């Protein structure tokens, strides 16, 4: 495959006006009212100390300048040995790229694959960076809604198939999914794989929550579409240390891709950031090795299950009808009859009257009004913080029954 077939002409399509900055909105509310901030999807606790020790040692040893753009060899080798999707193999020297966070991995992948006007299927609701990343790469995002069923969400494979046109080039898949907590089942992955092969689509998969699947038995492990027959050659898998190792501020991510895609992806990465922070790459390498050696990821999942239960119980008692997430560390909930349907107003009322903030989701939908009546709450917080949030939200319960709160 020629690189000219993969690299787009920059700026081919004008970007759409950005959605409201709900993160700044939420942070400001939390500060103004002294509210517990459950809007930010970042832990309020540090990752394992081994990461900081290794990063500090690297700094003291002089690892403070550029390293190879594709990644420090130690982290590349660690990723190749420990972090590749189950059932796959990637050559650390030619098929793994370390990036400045998973978002940059996604940006580089889309810049690699898209040509001006190419369409990208995106499951909705979506992480709010996705449409902007697609447009900046010259593409056109095409939203395909997930379906609410029971206490969770499911894929509408027929709707995905119906959205394919002659311009469709990429399926952007996020599992475990932010913000719904949906985790693609084996059957759903097989349906998407068949569709990609049938139409000759590439897949860009955001798997940053791969270590946070909340099932039991065989259902507690992450499955990657790249492991299915014929898909490794057509898939770029993006992930990172932010969520799995609780170091969101370090901005260390990675991309796994076949050699013919890795070359132009590395070119795009080199122009975007050149390299991820050198000493932090060594911290992540040490953290991954330690986590696999000690079984820490399993212990972390157990702790997150307790946090999830605490938040779900509090939201249910408050009448906010939460969706039970199968993966990740956020919960979508309804604003209920007691709160305004406008999520920005509902969030301000929660902060002012009850000392808790969630995250409004207009930027997570193609049509902002689709986010009416919805808030997202994060449970990547200390258990005591979640318990206090549940206590504060409990005051909503009587008002929810009567529908009397006013914004």
Residue 39, token pair as written in the block: 């809007």
**Cα–Cα distance between 346 and 375 in angstroms, integer?**
8
pLDDT, tens only, 157-180: 999 999 999 999 999 999 999 999
What is the model's pTM?
0.92
CB 121 within 8 A of CB 205: no
Question: Which class is 3-46+296-396 in CATH?
Answer: alpha beta
Going by pLDDT thresholds of 50, 70 and 90, the confidence category of residue 5 is low
* CB neighbour class for 163 (10 Å; exposed up to 12, middle 13-18, buried from 19): middle
pLDDT, tens only, 230-285: 999 999 999 999 999 999 999 999 999 999 999 999 999 999 999 999 999 999 99
For the chain, give the percent of residues with pLDDT over 90: 88
CB 32 within 8 A of CB 241: no
Strand-pair partners of 256: 96, 237
For helices 73-82 and 278-294, give the axis angle rounded to 10 degrees. Answer: 30
* Residue 11 pLDDT: 46
Task: Identify the three-state secondary structure at position 128.
Answer: coil
* Residue 406 pLDDT: 40
**Cα–Cα distance between 376 and 359 in angstroms, integer?**
5
Q: Which of 16-20, 186-190, 260-264, 273-277 has the lowest mean pLDDT?
A: 16-20
CATH 3.40.640.10 residue spans of the chain? 49-294
DSSP state of 45: S
* Residue 221 pLDDT: 80
CATH 3.90.1150.10 residue spans of the chain? 3-46+296-396
pLDDT, tens only, 204-239: 999 999 999 997 655 668 999 999 999 999 999 999
List CB contacts of 270: < 8 A, sequence separation 6 or more: 69
CB 120 within 8 A of CB 131: no
Element (H, E) at 22: helix 22-33
CATH fold group of domain 49-294: 3.40.640
**Residue from 324, 307, 314 nearest 400 by CA:** 314
**Cα–Cα distance between 284 and 279 in angstroms, integer?**
9
Q: Residue 224 region, left (φ>0) first, then alpha (ψ -120 to 50), else beta?
A: beta
Residue 398, token pair as written in the block: 């009587």
List CB contacts of 392: < 8 A, sequence separation 6 or more: 36, 354, 355, 356
DSSP state of 203: E
For the chain, give the percent of residues with pLDDT over 70: 91
**Cα–Cα distance between 70 and 61 in angstroms, integer?**
21
* Residue 407 pLDDT: 37
* CB neighbour class for 374 (10 Å; exposed up to 12, middle 13-18, buried from 19): buried
Higher pLDDT, 116 or 220: 116
CB 381 within 8 A of CB 35: no
């Amino acid at each position: 495959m020629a690189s000219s077939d993969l690299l787009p002409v920059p700026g081919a399509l004008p970007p759409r006006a950005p959605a409201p900055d709900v993160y700044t909105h939420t942070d400001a509310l939390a500060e103004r009212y002294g509210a517990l901030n459950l809007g930010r999807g970042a832990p309020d606790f540090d990752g394992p100390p081994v990461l900081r020790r290794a990063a500090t040692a690297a700094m003291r040893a002089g690892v403070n300048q550029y390293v190879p753009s594709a990644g420090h060899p130690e982290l590349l080798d660690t990723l190749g040995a420990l972090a590749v999707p189950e059932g796959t193999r990637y050559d650390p020297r030619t098929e793994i790229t370390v990036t400045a966070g998973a978002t940059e991995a996604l940006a580089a992948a889309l810049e690699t694959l898209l040509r001006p006007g190419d369409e990208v299927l995106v499951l909705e609701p979506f992480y709010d960076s996705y449409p902007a990343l697609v447009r900046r790469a010259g593409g056109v995002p095409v939203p395909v809604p997930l379906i609410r069923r029971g206490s969770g969400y499911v894929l509408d494979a027929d709707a995905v198939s119906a959205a394919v046109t002659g311009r469709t080039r990429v399926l952007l898949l996020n599992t475990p999914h932010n913000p719904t907590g949906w985790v693609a089942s084996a059957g759903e992955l097989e349906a998407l794989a068949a569709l990609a092969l049938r139409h000759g689509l590439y897949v860009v998969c955001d798997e940053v929550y791969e270590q946070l699947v909340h099932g039991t038995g065989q259902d507690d492990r992450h499955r990657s579409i790249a492991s299915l027959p014929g898909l490794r050659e057509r898939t770029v898998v993006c992930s990172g240390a932010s969520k799995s190792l609780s170091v969101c501020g370090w901005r260390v991510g990675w991309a796994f891709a076949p050699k013919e895609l890795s070359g132009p992806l590395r070119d795009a990465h080199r122009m975007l950031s050149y390299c991820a922070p050198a000493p932090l790459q060594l911290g992540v390498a040490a953290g991954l090795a330690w986590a696999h050696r000690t079984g820490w990821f399993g212990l972390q999942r157990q702790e997150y299950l307790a946090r999830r239960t605490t938040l779900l119980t509090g939201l249910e008692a408050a009448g906010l009808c939460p969706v039970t997430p199968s993966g990740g560390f956020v919960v979508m909930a309804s604003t209920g009859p007691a709160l305004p349907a406008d999520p920005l107003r509902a969030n301000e009322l929660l902060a002012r009257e009850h000392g808790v903030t969630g995250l409004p989701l207009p930027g997570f939908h193609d049509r902002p009004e689709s986010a009416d009546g919805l808030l997202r709450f994060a449970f990547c917080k200390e258990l005591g913080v979640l318990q206090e949030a549940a206590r504060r939200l409990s005051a909503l319960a009587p008002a929810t029954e009567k529908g009397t709160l006013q914004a």
